[in-house]
Chain A
Amino acid sequence: MNERILQELSDSFVKLLIPGIRVTIPLTAISFSLGLILALTVALIEIARIPVLNQAVRCYVWIIRTTPMIVQLFVVYYGLPNVGIKLDAFPSAILVFTLSVGAYCSETIRAAILSVSSGQMEAAYCVGMNYLQAMWHIVLPQAFRTAFPPLSNSLIGLVKDTSLAYSVAIVEILATAQRIAARTYDYFWLYCEAGLIYMIICTILTFAQRKIEKKLERTG
């Protein structure tokens, strides 16, 4: 590794960090938040066994889990215009990532809710709560503690999966690294550096996860 490459890497570090902050992080944050709402909705529909809706959400989870995410991205971004639905790259990616989080995390959340003892629900009923109050105030806070570590895993997974947005022409970290390398031919170093940016983001998230887990342990 000579001085030129060192200089190039330090120059490009900021250039890679910028799309990380402006694309990868918002893409992750928006998809994950929307995905969690979707996942919770799916989990509650499955637990309450609401007819028709229950079959519909199971079909949705099945489709998402059995097809590659990059195929889903292609279908939404390149395919949907054929049937008259035209989405820009960023909303396409948000849609696909949200659906993915919704499908995978619904299983996590469903299992966590079912792990809360049925006596908690009964006790909530006995003080006069209705189903939604009991869920919201008693069961979900406890389920959240159980679901938190696997959900953190999904979040970190999503950060890395956003690199697939590269394939629908979103200029995120990987695409930026490729553009720089196309000019300088230092593919090895630039792609390693792109990996480093992901490592930094995911490491920060891992630390945050540990902190929050400790805090959750303290209460109750």
Chain B
Amino acid sequence: MLQAVNIKKRFGDNEVLKGISLTVRTGDVVSIVGPSGSGKTTLLRCMNFLEMADEGELNLDDKLYDVRKVRKNEIREYRKKTGFVFQNYNLFANKTALGNVTAGLTIVRKVPAKQAEEIAADALARVGLQDKMSFYPSQLSGGQQQRVSIARAIAADPSVVFFDEPTSALDPELTKEVLSVMKKLADEGTTMVVVTHEMQFARNVSDRVIFMEDGTVLEEAAAEEFFRNPQSERSVRFLESFSVGAGPG
């Protein structure tokens, strides 16, 4: 289980996160939605220490991390229990698909090479890329690269996987291919926190939706509930712009 308590972050005079709290239960898929600039991505990055929050606590699997006091080796321990999928994949350009997935196992966890390759091959098979293992990122399509990056994130069986707008850099066809992999992972019980603009995905795959606006959580609800019956005037307007779910007509 992952719990974030009162996460605050400012960049200069700009208060990006104004004390955000959320809970992600094991096996849950939580979508974070909201307009651009609402702080979704910053929140996600703060939850993996890619950005250091100014204040707040993270609780992962009953271990508490105070962001103001957390030490480097604690951050590494925390990250070893999480996976992160970037908008622009960030695959290791000097490694093959297989090498991308084994890196965290062999270098960080000191898993023997042969065993790591078996785990990685298995992870790549889960994202449907068992036949691309020896390909370098530059030889793969955007959708395939993102699936490798998902395999890399799930290989070490993390407690939670963060997705930062995983399909924003992809065309609709490739988006579909990545989303179907994510749906499969969700069905298999992977705990996921997804920052996304894909409302269909948020509605159909996630258990809960968090609607952010201007550094605060404006609404938090079961996915279906949020789309059928958004509570705030702001979320109604936001959903209208996608012309899915609620709204007049």
Q: Which of A122, A137, A219 contacts B50 (CB 8 A)?
A: A122
Question: With a CB–CB cut-off of 8 A, which chain B residues contact A219?
Answer: 94, 136
Which A residue's beta carbon lies closest to that of B78? A128
In contact, A128 and B94 (Cβ under 8 angstroms) = no
In contact, B76 and A123 (Cβ under 8 angstroms) = no
The interface-forming segment of B52-60, B100-108, B190-198, B232-240 is B100-108
Q: Looking at the assembled complex, report how far the CB atom of B153 sits from the nearest CB atom of chain A, in whole angstroms.
A: 8
Q: Does B90 contact A (CB under 8 A)?
A: yes
Question: With a CB–CB cut-off of 8 A, which chain B residues contact A126?
Answer: 48, 50, 79, 82-84, 153
Determine the interface band of chain B, counting residues with CB < 8 A from chain A. 20 to 34
Q: Does B88 contact A (CB under 8 A)?
A: yes
In contact, B108 and A119 (Cβ under 8 angstroms) = no
In contact, B90 and A120 (Cβ under 8 angstroms) = yes
Q: Which of A117, A130, A141 contacts B94 (CB 8 A)?
A: A141
Judged by DSSP, the binding face of A is helix
Alpha-carbon distance between A124 and B80 when the two chains are bound, in angstroms? 11
Question: With a CB–CB cut-off of 8 A, which chain A residues contact B88?
Answer: 119
Q: Does B138 contact A (CB under 8 A)?
A: yes
Question: With a CB–CB cut-off of 8 A, which chain A residues contact B90?
Answer: 117, 119-120, 122-123
Known: A119-B86, A123-B86, A220-B137. A129 touches B93 (CB 8 A): no
Q: Does B242 contact A (CB under 8 A)?
A: no
Which A residue's beta carbon lies closest to that of B155? A127
In contact, B107 and A220 (Cβ under 8 angstroms) = no
In contact, A123 and B91 (Cβ under 8 angstroms) = yes
In contact, A127 and B50 (Cβ under 8 angstroms) = no
Total contacts A-B at CB 8 Å: 68
> What per-residue 1/0 map shows which CB atoms of B154-192 lie under 8 Å from chain A?
001000000000000000000000000000000000000
In contact, B107 and A137 (Cβ under 8 angstroms) = yes
In contact, B79 and A125 (Cβ under 8 angstroms) = yes
Of residues 131 to 150 in B, which have CB atoms within 8 Å of A's CB atoms?
136-138, 149
Q: Does B68 contact A (CB under 8 A)?
A: no
Of residues 212 to 235 in B, which have CB atoms within 8 Å of A's CB atoms?
none
Q: Which of B82, B84, B138 contacts A220 (CB 8 A)?
A: B138
Question: With a CB–CB cut-off of 8 A, which chain A residues contact B152?
Answer: 123, 127
Which B residue's beta carbon lies closest to that of A137? B107
Q: Looking at the assembled complex, report how far the CB atom of A187 sits from the nearest CB atom of chain B, in whole angstroms.
A: 51
Q: Looking at the assembled complex, report how far the CB atom of A114 sits from the nearest CB atom of chain B, in whole angstroms.
A: 15
Q: Does A197 contact B (CB under 8 A)?
A: no
Alpha-carbon distance between A138 and B96 when the two chains are bound, in angstroms? 12
> What per-residue 1/0 map shows which CB atoms of A106-126 lie under 8 Å from chain B?
000000000001011011111
Known: A119-B86, A123-B86, A133-B108. A128 touches B92 (CB 8 A): no
In contact, B79 and A138 (Cβ under 8 angstroms) = no
> What per-residue 1/0 map shows which CB atoms of A124-159 lie under 8 Å from chain B?
111111100100011001100100000000000000
Q: Looking at the assembled complex, report how far the CB atom of A126 sits from the nearest CB atom of chain B, in whole angstroms.
A: 4
Of residues 6 to 36 in B, which have CB atoms within 8 Å of A's CB atoms?
none
Of residues 144 to 195 in A, which have CB atoms within 8 Å of B's CB atoms?
145
Taking Cβ atoms with an 8 Å cutoff, the residues of A that contact B are 117, 119-120, 122-130, 133, 137-138, 141-142, 145, 219-220
Known: A122-B90, A124-B103, A128-B156. 19 other contacts (CB 8 A): A117-B90, A119-B88, A120-B90, A122-B50, A123-B152, A125-B50, A126-B84, A127-B103, A127-B104, A128-B104, A129-B108, A133-B108, A138-B92, A138-B103, A141-B94, A145-B94, A219-B94, A220-B96, A220-B136
Which 6 pairs between the two chains have the least Cβ-Cβ distance?
Answer: A127-B104, A119-B90, A123-B90, A128-B108, A126-B84, A220-B136
Chain A to chain B contacts (Cβ below 8 Å), 22 pairs: A120-B90, A120-B92, A120-B93, A123-B84, A123-B90, A123-B149, A124-B92, A124-B103, A125-B79, A126-B79, A126-B83, A127-B152, A128-B108, A129-B103, A138-B92, A138-B94, A142-B94, A219-B94, A219-B136, A220-B93, A220-B95, A220-B136
